[in-house]
Structure formats: structure tokens, C-alpha cells
Amino acid sequence: MKPEQLLTTPAEVRRDIPLPMAPEATDRYWGSDAIADMLRALGVPYVLLNPGASFRGLHDSLVNHLGNADPQMLLVLHEEHAVAIAHGYTKVTGQPLAAILHSNVGLMHGSMAIFDAWADRVPVLVLGATGPVDAARRRPWIDWLHTSQDQAALVRHFIKWDAQPASVAAAQEALLRAWRIADTAPRGPVYVCFDAAVQEARLPERPTVPDVARYMPPQPPVPAAVDVERVAQWLREAQRPVILAGRVSRSQAGWNARVALAERLGARVLTDLKLGAAFPTSHALHAAPAGMFLTPDGVKALREADLVLSLDWLDLAGTLRQAWGDSVVGSRVVQVSVDHHLHNGWSMDHQGLPPADLFLACEPEPVVDALLAALADHPGAPVVTAVPRSAPAPAPAPLPLDDSALTVPAVAALLREATHGLAVSLLRLPLSWGGEMWEFKGPLDFLGYDGGGGIGSGPGMAVGGALALKGTGRLPVAVIGDGDFLMGATALWTAANARLPLLTIVVNNRSFFNDELHQERVARERGRPVDNRWIGQRIDDPAPDLAQMARAQGLIGHGPVKTAAVLRSVLQEAIAAVQQGEGVVLDVWVQPGYTTSMSQTMTRSHSQDHE
């Protein structure tokens, strides 16, 4: 289900730069003009690209045939960012973008980000080029080097579909099919590779564009009435139902429906910090703060359940295992998901195979709507006011003292204080974050993680989110690790170039700290010195000047910020600057450390390790 349109038209990004030549200045047409026309007809607002000769024909068509509008180009400094920005944008809007990657080399650079989008079930129209496929037409050296047999083979295991059309008509059809497949749930990236010779072929006349309205994705499947009635009956009978709110849409209507269903049933709800906000976290029925893994209170709520309604929960088998271990799952399980349509033999991102007493092959939203209708006569349970807990509910850390050194919970507390009353979209949170640190009140309050766990995705996806939110009045904030920042930092240049407001807070522990925990665990198991865990992990000799890296790219950079007092004043300044349209990076030095439940789960014994 698509989120409601955030903006009636995509934000104007630097249309202030006049082009020397008006579009339509020529009456001669080329193969790539037809491809560009198709992108416009499909309504793609932006294409992200790093230039390359393999698609010089298409590049020219976008600029000189279409006048660099609808779609508009955004330049990136690395192909990984092209895909990550598209991914981040679509997570907010539901609207896919195109990323154009140069021949085999650009595709290789983009591949990790394609994997992230795949694992996150986010559609991206990845376009590429090769050739000329006809060897007789290749320039010496470089055209041979950058032509590969079956180029899509590089990424085929983690895209939904690919094509290398051999004519203009086939290219148009390939784009229509790619679009439809990418944007049909389970959504994901697709790849269309344009032969340089097809792009550069002269056309006898202006290409006609097919009527794209006749090739759109299918209507989402709705559940069969008999299945809805069965689940509704099970829900009426259930004493302690639990809803696992997983991969749901950013739609406000979908959010409201989930709340209504939970309230009607008195069902407890669990959410996942790897995914976008799915349920109001301060609601009495939200059973436990979300984490990257199920927290002890989450395990308890699940363990007590007599019916589990999984709304496309990301790892249902693994989660049930956290509650029931090796014993038989002691609750009815209803799985609502279309994800199985995407599973293949290469990627294990399908996770373990969960049991399901009833499996509805639908997206969550139509099922929630149907259940609400079926349960209209249900008396409605009193909203549980206090969920019994094993220990006191985790509370967000209080504001730190002025001169104290900073931790991630303290940064969260100061950010809460500084943004009080503002509509904030957290575009990214670091691994060291805990669900209790922030209240999610709506579907755009948090956009979730990157899907594939590919470090370096943070900055690019944040830029994409900022592009989507420009002009909406929401404050885009990304809180990311220093390792993530350093791998993806040059993505921020695109934010500066496109004049995108964005606040990036780097919680800088000067380390790839997640992996220090792993080395510590191994050292302990082997009776070896734990003190050596930092070797090959710390990023502090020299400590990179992250603020300088931001300034070097045209953003505002502050830091290193080392105390609460300084962070409080810098945050105020930074938020004001972002509200004026600036991109700001704050380098905030924090003590290394993860929440207890996180570090316990991260460092479990080898057979249960996650990285």
C-alpha cells in the first residue's frame, strides 16, 4: 500500500540553473530519447547518477531532449550512493526513483546498495548500460573493458528481474515490465541494461510513448472471506493475542487501522527497530520498547500469547524461537505476508521457516482492514493500561549534566529536548540505539534500517529521505555511527549540491565498535586477552575530522562535540540552520557502549551470532 502523497509535486531541486538550450531544439531523435520519454511517462521525478560513457546517449536525452526536468538528474560521487539515495527516498514516499550505473564498474559499485534495497523490499529502477554489444562497433580498449557478457549476472541474485533489450521497442517494453515488477509486492530493485548502440541509434521520427496507465502494477491481493472469518473467530477466542507489526507501509490510514485493531482486541503489539515505525510506542498496548532483536519484555509478551498475528514480521521464525526456544511454538500463528514470492536459493534473507496455522498471502493493510470489518460487532476489549513486566519498563535516559561526557542515550535525551514540539523524521538510527529513547507517534517518525546491514548505507539513505521530505515541514534527522558515516560520507555532497535540509548526527565512538564486542566475546571464549579487542577496530589514530569532512563538501560541520552543554547549544544552532534549508553534520563523541540487551544478543555464542 502506498503512503498518502506527502507532497503534491516533488520538491523543486535547483531548477534555478537555466539550461543553455531549450528542449525540442532539434527535430532529430535517437534511441535514448525514447528511453528518456518512458521515464517521464512513468512519472520518475529524479534520476541519480554518476556519469559514464556507456550511457552518454541516455544522459544527453535527459538533458537536451527533456531539458533535465521530469526526471531531473541528481549527481552522486559514488554509485552506491545513487542506489542508496533512491532507496531512502522511496522508503518515505513509496515512489520509486531511477539510479543509472555505468557499465559493469558502476554496477559493481552500486551492488551493495542494491542488496540493501532488495533485503528492505524497496523498489528501485536500476538502469545501466553496456557495449556496444556488437563487437564490430566497439572503440578500442575501453568499450571492450566495459562490456560484459550477461552484465546483470553481477546482481541477479538480489534483484527481481533484469533485461538487456536489443531495440527501442524492446527497451520501452522492458521499462514497463521492470516498473510493474519492481512496484508489485514484495517490492524490490530491478535492472535494465541499455546497449550503447540502441541508445545511440538514430530514429526516423519522434518515438511514440506507450500509454503507461495500461501497464501499471496489479491491484494488491485481498484475503478470501473464509480466511478472514477464520482469523476473526480465532481472535474472538484469543485471551492474549499479540500483533507483530513488521513490514508495514508508511500510510497514516494503515497506522490508524492497526491501532484500531489492537484496541478492539486488547492485543499487545510488538515492533522492530530494524523497520520503520509501525505502532505508537507509548500506547499502553505497545508491549515493550523495540530493539534490533526482541527485548526481554518482548519475549515475555510473546511467550504468553495464545495467538500471534504476524503482519509481515521480518524474522518470524527467529522471533518465535527467541520466545519458545526449541520447544513447539505454543500459540496459534497467523502469518500475513507475500514475501515468499521473492525468496530464492542464493539469499538467506528469507530467514528461518516459520510455522503458520493460517497463511494469508497478502500485504498487511488489506488484511487489517478486512479484520476490522469482520470484527465490527466485537465488543472491544478495554485497553490494557499496564502490561505486566518482568522488570520495570526501560525508561529513556534523563538529560545529562552539563559537563558530562556523552553517551548515545544522552544524545537522544538532548535531541528530544531540542526538537520538542517539532515533527521529526528519524531517517536512521545507529545499532547502539534503544527503542525506549524515542517516541514514535506516526509512520514517518522513523524510517527503519537499511534492510541488508550494509555499513555505509546511512548517509546515502539519509540524503534520499531528506530529498523526499523537502518542503513537508518535517525535520529530517539521521543519527549514524562513525563507521557508517565514514564509509558513505561523500553521499552528503549530493545533499549540499541539491540544497537539501538534513541534520546528520554522528555518534562517534571512534570505532567499528559492534565488532569490538565480537572480538571480546571470542577472546573470552578462548581465554585470551580481552584488552586487545580494539585492535583492527578503533578509528582514532588519527581521529578523522568529521566536521571538516562535512565542510569540505559544502555542508555545515560542528565538532567534535564532547560535552552535554556544548551539544545543547550546537543542536539549537544546527536545527535552526536545517530549518533554513542547510545540511548540517554534528560530530558528537560518545563513550562506546550498547544497550545491555543489544550487547547480550550481539555477543551470543557462535551458533547464534548475527554478523
Q: Nearest approach, Cβ of 433 to Mg ion (angstroms)? A: 13
> Which part of the chain contacts Mg ion (CB under 5 A), choosing from 119-127, 206-214, 335-343, 509-517?
509-517
Question: Binding residues for ligand TPP, how many (CB under 6 A)?
Answer: 18
Choose among ligand TPP, Mg ion, none what residue 484 binds, the Cβ cut-off being 5 to 8 Å by kind: ligand TPP
The least CB distance from residue 602 to ligand TPP, in Å, is 9
Q: What part of residues 244-273 is at the interface with Mg ion (CB under 5 A)?
A: none
DSSP string, 208-265: PPP-GGGGPPPPPP---HHHHHHHHHHHHH-SSEEEEE-S--S-HHHHHHHHHHHHHH
Which one, of 317, 299, 324, 303, lies nearest residue 353 by Cα?
A: 317
3-state secondary structure of 468: helix
Cell of residue 492, nine digits: 552528503
Which listed option, Mg ion, ligand TPP, none, makes contact with residue 597 (CB within 5 to 8 Å by class)? none
> Count of CB atoms within 10 A of residue 27's CB?
7
Q: In whole angstroms, how close is the CB of 513 to Mg ion at the nearest point?
A: 5
Structural contact between residues 399 and 414, judged by C-beta atoms closer than 8 angstroms: yes
From the list 430, 437, 438, the residue with the least C-alpha distance to 457 is 430
| 583 contacts ligand TPP (rule: CB under 6 A) | no
Stretch near ligand TPP under the rule CB under 6 A, chosen from 148-156, 252-260, 335-343, 454-462: 454-462
Nearest approach, Cβ of 509 to Mg ion (angstroms)? 4
Binders of ligand TPP in range 491-520 (CB under 6 A): 509, 511-515
Q: Contact letters (x/-) for ligand TPP, 414-443, by CB under 6 A?
A: ----------------xxx-----------
Min dist CB 514 to ligand TPP, Å, is 3
CB 414 within 8 A of CB 568: yes
User: In this structure, are residues 259 and 284 in contact, taking their beta carbons and an 8 Å threshold?
Assistant: no
Could you tell me the smallest distance in angstroms from the CB atom of residue 590 to Mg ion? 9
Dihedral sign computed on CA atoms, order 285, 330, 350, 229: negative
Contacts of ligand TPP in 459-488 (CB under 6 A) = 481-484
Residues 6+ apart with CB under 8 A from 22: 67
The nearer residue to ligand TPP, 96 or 483, going by C-beta atoms, is 483
Residue 509 engages Mg ion in binding (rule: CB under 5 A): yes
Question: Pick from 42, 243, 413, 455: which binds ligand TPP (CB under 6 A)?
Answer: 455
Residue nearest to ligand TPP (CB): 481
Residue with cell 566536521: 547
Q: CB 485 → Mg ion: shortest distance, Å?
A: 9
Name every residue whose Cβ is closer than 8 Å to that of residue 458 and which is 6 or more positions away in sequence: 428, 450, 478, 480, 481, 484, 485, 488
What minimum distance in Å lies between the beta carbon of 510 and ligand TPP? 8
Number of residues that bind Mg ion (CB under 5 A): 6
What's the min distance (Å) between Cβ of 1 and ligand TPP?
30
Q: Among 266, 355, 396, 453, which residue interacts with ligand TPP (rule: CB under 6 A)?
A: 453
* Nearest to ligand TPP of 67, 560 (CB atom): 560
Q: Which does 306 bind (CB under 5 to 8 A by kind): ligand TPP, Mg ion, none?
A: none
Cβ at position 517, least distance to Mg ion in Å: 11
* CA nearest neighbour of 494 among 12, 13, 43: 13
Dihedral sign for Cα atoms in the order 442, 447, 452, 453? negative
Kindly report the length of the chain: 611
- The C-alpha cell at 45 is 521525478
- Which positions from 479 through 508 interact with Mg ion, judged by CB under 5 A? 481-483
User: Which residue in the set 451, 454, 464, 501 belongs to the binding site for ligand TPP (CB under 6 A)?
Assistant: 454
- Note whether 342 and 366 are within 8 A (CB): no
Which DSSP state fits 43?
A: T
Q: Which is nearer to Mg ion, 476 or 483 (CB)?
A: 483
80 binds ligand TPP per the rule CB under 6 A? no
Q: Cell 551470543 sits at which residue?
A: 604
- Span from 410-418, 474-482, 583-591, 602-610 in contact with Mg ion (CB under 5 A): 474-482
Tell me the C-alpha to C-alpha distance, in Å, between residue 23 and each of 13, 55, 65, 225: 19, 19, 5, 53
- From 200-208, 243-251, 442-450, 452-460, give the range in contact with ligand TPP by CB under 6 A: 452-460
The entry of ligand TPP, Mg ion, none near residue 456 (CB within 5 to 8 angstroms by kind) is ligand TPP
Distances in Å between the alpha carbon of 185 and those of 1, 45, 245, 373? 9, 21, 17, 23
* 534 and 507 Cβ atoms separated by less than 8 Å: no
Count CB neighbours of 41 within 10 A.
Answer: 19
Which residue, 27 or 611, is less far from ligand TPP as judged by CB? 611
Of residues 354 and 483, the one with the C-beta less far from ligand TPP: 483
Closest CA to 272 of 250, 258, 290, 247: 290
Q: Which does 488 bind (CB under 5 to 8 A by kind): ligand TPP, Mg ion, none?
A: none
Please identify, using beta-carbon distances, which residue of 249 and 509 lies nearer to Mg ion.
Answer: 509
Contacts with ligand TPP by CB under 6 A lie at: 430-432, 453-456, 481-484, 509, 511-515, 611
Contacts with Mg ion by CB under 5 A lie at: 481-483, 509, 511, 513
